[in-house]
Chains A and B, each alone.
Chain A
Amino acid sequence: MIVFFLFLSIPFIFLAPVSAQTATPSTDKVEDVKDILKQIVKETSGDNNSKEVSKEPKSFFGTITQTETDQIKITLKNQNNKTLYITQDTTFVNSKKQKGKISDFKSGQTIIAMGYLKDDQSLDCRRIVYTESKAIENINQIITGQIVDISQSQNSPIFVLIPNKNKNSQYQIKTDAKTEIVDLKNTKSTTAKTIITGKKIIAIIQPDAKLTNTFYATKIINLTAETTSNP
């Protein structure tokens, strides 16, 4: 009888350990192993310093906030800070546009730094050029809107434009003989055809150096097709 019950219990002996097994997600373990391997590769590669990650060269314009023997810190226009690492290969071009050295550069000066980005977003700097902020400034503005009023001044029209972006504001825009007037195909057009009340235009303007709240148009693009009848 004992032998009989022993035989009967065979399936349960087999089943017991099997029923304890459950399907476990092996992907997590694989990822863990991958992470460990990556760490080992990183440690055995020699150093943990930041390495160049950008294949393409980068360039940053900013104001110097700090200079040291091997690095310069600058503040970019978006107020972000950037560290520039200086090496023996770094070339300096000073304010006299001559080859200089790091001591030629002081806090408050504006520079263009060229080099390759490291993985910590600092720059492995290869070239630093002193650059006046005003020299690179782009004061042009691109405005789309509708002409609402026109007046003449010394045979050149001055018109008022209401921009599409903010219909509560107005731009007083001056033109002269140098103002380029074109259509959407960049073909030259005339003042008579373009600067008309009600016309929709794109104007490339810049603040007038002499008159406040007045802009000078370098280019006016007629948005209305010529075939359309004028109001």
Chain B
Amino acid sequence: MIKEILLAAFVGGILGLGITGGYVTLQNKNISAKDNQKAIVTEPTLIPTQSQSLITTDNPTIDSIKIDSPEDDSLISSSKTNINGVTNPNSHIIIATSTQSFIGQSDNQGKFSIPVSLENGLNIIKVSSINQDNIQKDTQINVTYSTAKI
């Protein structure tokens, strides 16, 4: 009788250890799998250094001239519009249409907004920036002024 009780206790112990061991191992595997999944999904994070900035738009050190608005080949229904863009900071901005010219200046960030008058029909607008070192950058946009309903 004592032998049977001891055998039952021994078998029960083994059974308990087996189930507990299996459960613990299973849990560890699941945690490991979740961590691996996170490692795949997580995207790398850029860390800016002293000489590097994450902001790439409106870069004040842009070595060209870019017109933000109006877009090239745009059609507008007003004879007056603003030429908005970005270039080197504190540059002189000269705008020449076929009949008129306009003068402005970019700000400390290189942004500019210069009011211009348009002729009826297609306007080929030449825009130049001259920076503090007298280096000139040019660009051109086509803007059509029409009051016709489109």
Contacts and interface: CB of A to CB of B under 8 A. Distances in A.
A165 B98 contact: no
A11 B101 contact: no
A8 B18 contact: yes
B115 interface: no
Contacts of A25: 37, 40-41
Interface string A1-35: 00110011011011100110111111100000000
A49 B82 CA distance: 36
B56 interface: no
Interface residues of B: mostly helix, strand, loop or mixed? Answer: mixed
Contact of B29 (A3, A18, A59, A223): A18
Contacts of B71: 56
Interface residues of B, number: 50
Main secondary structure of the interface of A (DSSP, over half): mixed
Interface residues of A, number: 55
Interface string B27-50: 001100111110111000000000
A228 B50 CA distance: 39
Given A7-B18, A18-B26, A204-B96, A182 B144 contact: no
Contacts of B126: 138, 140-142
A147 interface: no
Contacts of B30: 18
B141 to A, nearest CB: 11
A195 interface: no
B117 to A, nearest CB: 14
A140 B15 contact: no
A53 interface: no
Interface string B100-132: 010101000000000000000111111010100
B57 interface: no
10 contacts: A56-B74, A61-B144, A135-B121, A136-B123, A138-B96, A141-B96, A141-B126, A184-B92, A223-B92, A223-B134
Interface of B: 11, 14-15, 18-19, 21-23, 25-26, 29-30, 33-37, 39-41, 71, 73-75, 92, 94, 96-98, 101, 103, 105, 121-126, 128, 130, 134-136, 138, 142-144, 146, 148, 150
The 7 closest A-B pairs by CB, nearest first: A23-B36, A59-B144, A138-B124, A14-B22, A11-B22, A10-B18, A59-B75
